[in-house]
Amino acid sequence: MRTVYLTGGTGFLGSHFIRNHLLGGSFDVQCFVRGPSPEACALRLDETLREVDASYPDRRVRGLDALTAIPSDITLPAFGLEEAFFAARAGRADATFFHFASSLQYQEKDRQVIHDHNIGGLRHAVDVAAALGCGVFYYVSTAFTVGVHEGPVPEALHHDARFNNYYEETKCQAEHLITELCRERGISLVIVRPSIVIGPSATRRPGGSRTGLYGFIRELHRLKRQLRHTDAPLSLYGSTESEMNVVPVDFVCYDIFSLYRDSVSEGVYHCTAGQNVRVQGLTELILKHLELTGVTFRSFREFDEATASALERVLLRNTAFYASSTAGTKLFQRRRGPGWPMDLDEVERYVIEGVRGLNGADAAARQPPGLRKQRPVARRTA
Ligand SMILES: NC(=O)c1ccc[n+]([C@@H]2O[C@H](COP(=O)([O-])OP(=O)(O)OC[C@H]3O[C@@H](n4cnc5c(N)ncnc54)[C@H](OP(=O)(O)O)[C@@H]3O)[C@@H](O)[C@H]2O)c1
């Protein structure tokens, strides 16, 4: 049985990775989870995996007893773990470390938190991996470490990049830092870079993600409520000329797992779709499915502070993150074969599910409390 250490198992990518590839008995999966006790962490992990399982057509969450939840915080030295923890686990053969945990905040006001997680947390992760005798470290980065660059993006470290926000900046710094730290420690390093990750391809449901495409849909859904009492036309501004790369989470997880399965132990790899989609087309689909008929998507270049309405200015501010991460078309290169096939018709199905999820949540919130569906209480199987 191979031992896998993993951070971020309660998050979007980490939970799908565990659910799709690590359950079933071949792996001893040791998860670093935030929480006050092993029981509380195990419960949260189980609940997350059961929720994730519901976004697939075939239910397969079993073998949860192969998971161990270790209360820990990546922002603390040694994740806050005692010496005895490391002593008890030293010398396990074949151990590999997967580092999914990160801060996905991006605003200037959150600089310290972002730094503590994406730089400090990474240093601690390497210390922990070294103390546990892990031979290979898989670092989950992002395709957006290339920053504002447009055009072909190689599977290599980026130098002299300029960034849209501090999240991108720290993730790029982290790639350089981890390369250095792993070299010093004699640990092999694989850097994986997903693009904008959407739900699983089999159902196209959000699968637990609240960021990226779903964050943008949520922002426009909020706008819909604000527009309830007006039919005045409104402009949404963005990168009308650009293309963006969106990729299903199950493909990303498969991409990462196949590197591990094939014993790949070094290099930078894009976990991306084979084709980009037009930002204009995708935004118009979201507006259509949200029934925001009075909203027109226009280029940033047309924005005029003097004539824009107060709501248009607020909307521009609230969607700035999505607009910046889709500004400028990036063509992600992949040396391990073509990426996931993707076009606008296919992305539309994810949009429909994303909108359905929000409308469903609205309908549930409108029901009297007694009629609301109870969340099943997750049970530890071990
Ligand atoms: N989602 C995307 O579209 C996307 C795209 C490209 C790259 N990525 C990268 O993929 C990785 C995973 O992203 P995601 O979307 O899965 O993020 P996510 O859903 O926000 O999950 C983040 C995970 O990190 C854990 N975490 C955060 N702070 C922690 C701390 N102080 N101590 C211990 N654990 C902590 C969270 O635990 P809690 O449950 O306790 O919060 C959660 O399990 C990140 O490195 C991200 O940069 C994501």
CA of 14 to the centre of ligand 1 (A): 8
CA of 107 to the centre of ligand 1 (A): 16
* CATH 3.90.25 location in the chain: 213-244+276-357
Place of tokens 């600089």: 111
Structure tokens given for 58:
């075939």
Convert the pLDDT of each residue in 70-113 to its tens digit: 999 999 999 999 999 999 987 776 799 999 999 999 989 999 99
CATH 3.90.25 assigned to domain 213-244+276-357? The reply is: yes
Q: Is the CB of 246 under 6 A from ligand 1?
A: no
349, 204 contact by CB (below 8 A): yes
CA of 101 to the centre of ligand 1 (A): 4
296, 232 contact by CB (below 8 A): no
What's residue 369's pLDDT? Answer: 63
Which are the contacts of 329, defined by CB distance < 8 A and separation ≥ 6?
Answer: 150, 151, 242, 243, 244, 276
What's residue 325's pLDDT? Answer: 80
Q: Is the CB of 11 under 6 A from ligand 1?
A: yes
Q: Is the CB of 165 under 6 A from ligand 1?
A: no
**Ligand 1 pocket, mutate which of 34, 146, 178, 340 (most atoms under 8 A from CB):** 34
Q: Is the CB of 34 under 6 A from ligand 1?
A: yes
Measured in whole angstroms, how far is the alpha carbon of residue 52 from the centre of its chain? Answer: 14
Structure tokens given for 90:
């030293």
Q: Is the CB of 40 under 6 A from ligand 1?
A: no
What's residue 24's pLDDT? Answer: 83
What's residue 159's pLDDT? Answer: 96
Give me the amino acid identity at 22: L
Residue from 256, 99, 74, 73 nearest 175 by CA: 99
Does the pTM surpass 0.85? The reply is yes
Whose CA is closest to atom 13 on ligand 1?
13
CA of 193 to the centre of ligand 1 (A): 14
* CATH 3.40.50.720 location in the chain: 2-198+246-271
CA of 103 to the centre of ligand 1 (A): 6
Residue numbers in the chain where pLDDT is lower than 70? 63, 93, 366, 368-382
Residue 295, strand partner residues? 234
**Ligand 1 pocket, mutate which of 45, 81, 102, 192 (most atoms under 8 A from CB):** 102
What's residue 25's pLDDT? Answer: 78
Whose CA is closest to atom 18 on ligand 1?
11
Atom of ligand 1 nearest to the CA of 171: 47
Q: Is the CB of 12 under 6 A from ligand 1?
A: yes
Q: Is the CB of 142 under 6 A from ligand 1?
A: yes
Q: What is the CATH number of domain 2-198+246-271?
A: 3.40.50.720
Structure tokens given for 195:
């693009």
Query: How many Cβ atoms are within 10 Å of 137's Cβ, its own excluded?
Result: 25
Angle among Cα 346, 349, 351 to the nearest 5 degrees reads 115
Measured in whole angstroms, how far is the alpha carbon of residue 203 from the centre of its chain? Answer: 18
Q: Is the CB of 212 under 6 A from ligand 1?
A: yes
Residues 372 and 356: their CA atoms lie apart, in Å, by: 17
**Ligand 1 pocket, mutate which of 6, 20, 100 (most atoms under 8 A from CB):** 100
Which are the contacts of 23, defined by CB distance < 8 A and separation ≥ 6?
Answer: 29, 49, 60, 61, 62, 63, 64, 66, 67
323, 239 contact by CB (below 8 A): yes
Convert the pLDDT of each residue in 241-261 to its tens digit: 999 999 999 999 999 999 999
Atom of ligand 1 nearest to the CA of 13: 16
